[in-house]
């Protein structure tokens, strides 16, 4: 990747066909769609697994986290108070527990849960997990992470020097 490559997240330009962000521009070429960009950057920087099997596991976890995100959006976008409350309770009691329980079992199945979700080093699955807990769950204040090994994983990722530095110095945004 060239040094001038940048993720454009602050402004929409008419030339971007989908008219939405994020957009990744590399050497004058533009691509859209956040998960595609996320996976590309994971490959470019060595966070995509050591084998085809690890990459499959990572993709499975990413898709599971996408499911979690989509269910959370249903809650946050619902306008009807009664429906919103039902969706919220289902999200808190069923969706979060099912997905976090699944991720906890994946983590425990890999080195006893003291490392990362897949393989022996941090992957984009771990980064996406961290992002969901750190950022997305903030939109639903009642949501929480109670699984012990996942809590430790969250702290391991948060204490990574590059991630800690980004969290400390990043611009304040809604997302």
pTM, whole model, 2 decimals?
A: 0.83
Which pLDDT does position 98 carry in this prediction?
Answer: 96
Q: What average pLDDT does range 2-14 have in this prediction?
A: 44
Considering the chain, what is the average pLDDT of its residues?
A: 87
Which pLDDT does position 21 carry in this prediction?
Answer: 75
164 sits in which H/E element: helix 161-169
pLDDT at 159 exceeding the cut of 50: yes
Which residue in this structure is represented by tokens 């204040």?
A: 141
Distance CA 57, CA 26 (A): 27
The H-assigned helical ranges of 5-95 are 34-44, 52-77, 81-90
Question: Could you name the CATH architecture of 52-164?
Answer: Up-down Bundle (1.20)
Q: What average pLDDT does range 47-74 have in this prediction?
A: 95
pLDDT at 174 exceeding the cut of 80: no
Q: What average pLDDT does range 107-115 have in this prediction?
A: 96
| pLDDT 10s digits, 32-53 | 888 889 899 999 999 999 999 9
Break the chain into its structural domains and give their ranges: 6-44, 52-164
Contact 65, 128 (CB under 8 A): yes
Which pLDDT does position 1 carry in this prediction?
Answer: 47
Q: What average pLDDT does range 101-108 have in this prediction?
A: 98
Contact 117, 129 (CB under 8 A): yes
pLDDT at 129 exceeding the cut of 90: yes
């Amino acid at each position: 990747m060239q040094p001038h490559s940048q993720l454009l997240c602050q402004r929409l330009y008419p030339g971007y066909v989908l008219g939405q962000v994020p957009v990744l521009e590399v050497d004058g070429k533009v691509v859209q769609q956040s998960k595609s960009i996320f996976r590309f950057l994971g490959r470019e920087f060595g966070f995509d697994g050591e084998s085809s099997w690890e990459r499959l596991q990572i993709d499975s976890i990413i898709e599971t986290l996408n499911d979690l995100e989509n269910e959370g959006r249903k809650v946050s976008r619902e306008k009807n108070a009664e429906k919103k409350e039902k969706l919220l309770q289902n999200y808190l009691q069923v969706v979060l527990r099912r997905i976090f329980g699944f991720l906890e079992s994946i983590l425990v199945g890999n080195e006893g849960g003291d490392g990362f979700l897949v393989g022996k080093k941090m992957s984009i699955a771990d980064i996406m997990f961290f992002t969901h807990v750190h950022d997305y769950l903030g939109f639903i204040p009642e949501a929480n992470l109670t699984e012990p090994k996942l809590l430790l994983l969250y702290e391991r990722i948060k204490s990574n020097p590059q991630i800690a530095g980004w969290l400390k110095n990043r611009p304040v945004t809604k997302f």
